[in-house]
Structure 1
Amino acid sequence: MQRYIGLFLLIGMFSCKTKSVVVTPVVPVDTTNVATAKMIAQYYTKITPKFNSISIKSNVKYADERMSQNVNAEIRILKDQKIMVLVRVLGITMAKAYITPDKVQYYEKIGGKYFDGNFEVLSRWLGTDLDFQKIQKLLIGEALDTLNSQTGNVKSDMGFYKIETDSNQGVQKQFYIDSNDLLLKKELIFQTEKDRMLQILYPTFATHEKAFLPENVLIEASQGTSKTNIEMEYKSVTFDEELTFPYQVPNGYEPIIISKTE
């Protein structure tokens, strides 16, 4: 599902080829609508982070039909401004991504490749709408879409608030918010006609003074019989330290060229 293993580890969790869509909301009756609006307001009140910056050290496990790989990753976030992900093997930095709202830069030592572009180019290549906020939300355990009382049909489902949307392009989305702690536990994006599915799980959260953050992020992307799994385990988290975001492509690396037809 991805051409470069390092790039997949960093941002390939979005590459299950689900196109950007305009959601056609299923409008509930008034009483349900009021309850839904209240629940969603409580959700955002609870999960809105209070930090300016965050540094996360994690273990990452990647597996598909051809290979499996375990690496360490350091994630640095200056909220709403910058994200840097450093992938290390045996303490050696093997790949680095530097992401801002306007630009995506990346290089990996294996193969000596680098990418320098924007989200428009990257979204076309991956086949799905991608932006800075989606990456930030995924890393800190927030719903990828902005939820509101008109997002879709809300049901009670086995201890969860299940928010389900449908679209006229066949892309369905489901968000599962725990009815007890109001934290997101699962997201599903799927296209039944094309047998494509992306599932994001947040089994447990840790309570920090400045945020509720996932302890694990489990991602499964599938198309037909092809499956890719990514498991991220957050080992340590620090808030509001002064972070640096150094990025420079080593000499001699070759650019990853994405043509308009890809």
Structure 2
Amino acid sequence: MKYTKFIFIALAIALSSCGAAKEIKGSKTANENLSVKNIIASHEAASPDFKTMAARIQVVYEDEDTQQSVTVSLRMEKNKTIWVKASFLGITLVKANITPDRVQYYETIGGTYFDGDYALLSDWLGTEINFEKAQAILLGQSIFNINKADYKSTVVQNKYKLQPKVQPQNFIHSLFLNPENFKIASESLSQPNNERLLSVRYNGYQKIGTGFYPSEIKINTTEKDSKTNIDVTYKKIDLDVNIGFPFNIPDGYEKIQL
């Protein structure tokens, strides 16, 4: 379960800007006079445009009990499928297949599998999630609908900070965007009453074509006394390639019941 959880949390944030994004006109210095409307429009314009993607990622996971480094292969057909395989020394640890109406995965260490809806991922991430939200996170876009009517913007440490004018009860969301490319610099979601926090920091982007791609992502999750740190490093990204999504749950595995 731990292997599966950290892979999903990592990839639910990690894969920012995989595709040929529209050309964005940014600047090295955040403009205090830039309207929230233009900031949001620029962030939305930075959303990538692609059909398929294949990526290889190194993920380092650490909690109170363990530290583990695995190689993760991720394949994606936009709006249709997200496929994940995590390996260690050539051995498959976890394989998952996610579609708009179904979440499937199995893990080899415990010999368990899951086949159902998004309730499990929602529980792990601490917020309601569906395929559209999962895909948005994978592409470096906000999982919430940010609009000029509900959000306000300020400049903080040369970043555009976006947050709701009125935060929902027991839910605090904030988003920092880089002025150069309007991609996410950091994002946080917290539920103080439940002592939950999810924070993500992007340590630099690389430009490929007209799109910006993350170099390294640091993810921290906290739930009461439990803390998890995840470092994600991108090794290779290929776009619009011919890929398959092989997935079969092995015989004899035990189904996880929520």
Q: Name the TM tier (shorter chain).
A: 0.7 to 0.9
1:13–1:221 Cα contact (<8 Å) kept? no
Q: What is the aligned partner in structure 2 of residue 200 from structure 1?
A: 200
In the TM superposition, 1:43-82 aligns within 5 A as: 43-45=43-45, 47-82=46-81
What SS is found at the alignment partner of 2:53? strand
Query: Which consecutive residues of structure 2, in runs of 5 or more, have no partner in the other structure?
Result: 13-31
Query: Which consecutive residues of structure 1, in runs of 5 or more, have no partner in the other structure?
Result: 16-31
How far apart are residue 202 of structure 1 and its match? Answer: 1.5
| TM-score, normalised by the number of residues in structure 1 | 0.83
What is the one-letter code of the residue matched to 1:39?
Answer: I
Establish whether residue 11 from structure 1 lines up as the match of residue 8 from structure 2: yes
Q: Residues 170, 11 of structure 1: CA spacing in aligned structure 2 closer, same or farther, 3 A cutoff?
A: same
Q: What is the aligned partner in structure 2 of residue 88 from structure 1?
A: 87
Aligned pairs, number: 238
% identical equivalent positions: 32
Q: What is the aligned partner in structure 2 of residue 26 from structure 1?
A: none
Q: Residues 125, 172 of structure 1: CA spacing in aligned structure 2 closer, same or farther, 3 A cutoff?
A: closer
Establish whether residue 105 from structure 1 lines up as the match of residue 112 from structure 2: no
| TM-score, normalised by the number of residues in structure 2 | 0.85
How far apart are residue 191 of structure 1 and its match? Answer: 2.2
Which deviations, in whole Å up to 9, do the C-alpha atoms of 1:127-149 show, x marking residues without a partner? 52111233223333222223221
What is the one-letter code of the residue matched to 1:167?
Answer: Q
Q: What is the aligned partner in structure 2 of residue 25 from structure 1?
A: none
Partners in 2 of 1:33 and 1:189 — Cα distance? 27
2:44–2:141 Cα contact (<8 Å) kept? no
What is the one-letter code of the residue matched to 1:8?
Answer: K
Partners in 2 of 1:146 and 1:96 — Cα distance? 30
What SS is found at the alignment partner of 1:241? coil
Establish whether residue 217 from structure 1 lines up as the match of residue 217 from structure 2: yes
How far apart are residue 126 of structure 1 and its match? Answer: 5.8
What SS is found at the alignment partner of 1:129? coil
Worse-matched range after superposition: 157-166 or 245-254:
157-166
Partners in 1 of 2:198 and 2:148 — Cα distance? 24
Over the aligned positions, Cα root-mean-square deviation in angstroms equals 2.3
Q: Residues 209, 89 of structure 1: CA spacing in aligned structure 2 closer, same or farther, 3 A cutoff?
A: same
Partners in 2 of 1:107 and 1:62 — Cα distance? 19
Partners in 2 of 1:14 and 1:193 — Cα distance? 26
Q: Residues 41, 168 of structure 1: CA spacing in aligned structure 2 closer, same or farther, 3 A cutoff?
A: closer
Establish whether residue 229 from structure 1 lines up as the match of residue 229 from structure 2: yes
How far apart are residue 167 of structure 1 and its match? Answer: 3.2
Q: Residues 151, 187 of structure 1: CA spacing in aligned structure 2 closer, same or farther, 3 A cutoff?
A: farther
What SS is found at the alignment partner of 1:193? helix
